[in-house]
Amino acid sequence: MSSRTMVARTMAGVALCAALAAFAGAARAEQPPKLPELSPTGADACFGRVYDAAHLKAHPRQKVARIFFFYGHDPVSRPNEEPPANQDNSYNGFLTTTVRGAKKPEWASSWCNKEDPSDKASGIRCGMDCDRTLASLKVDDKGKLLLSGLSQDVYLDPDASESMSKAEYAKQALGSEDDNFKLDPMPADSCKAEFARIDPIDPALGDPLRVRLKPDQPFCFGRDYDEQHLKSHPNQLTQSIRVFRGPIELASFAAGGDAANWPDGADIAVSVTTRQKGKKVTQTYSCQGEADQWRCSASAKMSDFACDISQKEIFLKRGANGTMMVANPNNAVAILDLCSKAANGKTKSDDKVYRLTPMPQSACAP
């Protein structure tokens, strides 16, 4: 999934659109469309326009100050934690706009096809998930891209006009004059540079975890908190934490895992020692790649817990300079027996996010 901005998103709408996207994406991937009108050579094509102050002053109802349309390979997504087989490469049309005063653009992806494949003069429709239309396209005799039919709520949920107040909708949506754009052909790198403004790459993050951590190799990350830190965080129960894959986890993946879909199905162990009498609790989690993180659910494998702990989750993300971020939004990190009554409550704020550093495997030994 990409990192686009979405407002007032409902969980039901997300689930439905995600299901439709998965189905449609699989179908589209079989026969990627080729549109010589947009790209006669089949290479990535870029069209864009940046409006000057005079134009914007003359069009007060136009919010868009910068607009770019890219036809080709995804200019936003980069190697993430999802296995390559699960990454959707079917989208071929990408729009980004920056409204007046905004620091970053918003963007949307689509798949573009001829409205009538049997008619060479037919225009081009770019569709989105949930049977929505991004825009209609046409290239004029000067090579400029005519983009029309752009909805004001293109970046909002499909039901935004009903679920949001009129004032909030007017604030979040595009302006009434944000349509019928005429975009100039530009080098592909111009679009790539514009899309790069959405989510700038942090060189310090390095490769994603699925690249840094190999399916057949152990790892150990951890942190021991000193007295000074614990004194300044009186609500933190965690005295030390380890996240690791050792011989047991490696053997489990070797027996039933699929390296091609790594990290899906990867088992990890989390061991936490609390400041209360030095009690140590270890829990196994089963992970899968999800966008820029590993989503890991507590597993009954190699654990003594007998209750249903499948909804206890943690998230792993790459941190700067080789570190690993472990997020525990509710109460999933094993700072206590996950079957205990106390586990039904919320984890205190000081036990929710951890920045761990690589450690020798001996530091994660049982």
- Name residues of the chain where pLDDT drops below 70: 1-33, 85-89, 300-311, 329-349
- 363 and 222 Cβ atoms separated by less than 8 Å: yes
pLDDT of the residue at 364: 94
pLDDT of the residue at 312: 76
Distance (Å, whole) CA 31 – CA 278: 59
Distance (Å, whole) CA 176 – CA 179: 8
- Which stretches of the chain are DSSP H helices? 11-30, 53-58, 160-163, 166-172, 188-196, 209-212, 227-232, 247-256
pLDDT of the residue at 119: 79
Report which of 317, 308, 315 is spatially closest to residue 330, judged by C-alpha positions.
315
Report which of 301, 295, 266, 265 is spatially closest to residue 283, judged by C-alpha positions.
301
pLDDT of the residue at 235: 82
pLDDT of the residue at 219: 97
Q: Give per-residue burial for 306-327: e unless 16+ CB within 10 Å, then b.
A: eeebeebbbbbbbbeeebbbbe
Distance (Å, whole) CA 92 – CA 102: 26
Report which of 62, 145, 133 is spatially closest to residue 99, judged by C-alpha positions.
62
pLDDT of the residue at 320: 93
Q: pTM for the whole thing?
A: 0.66
SS3 290: strand
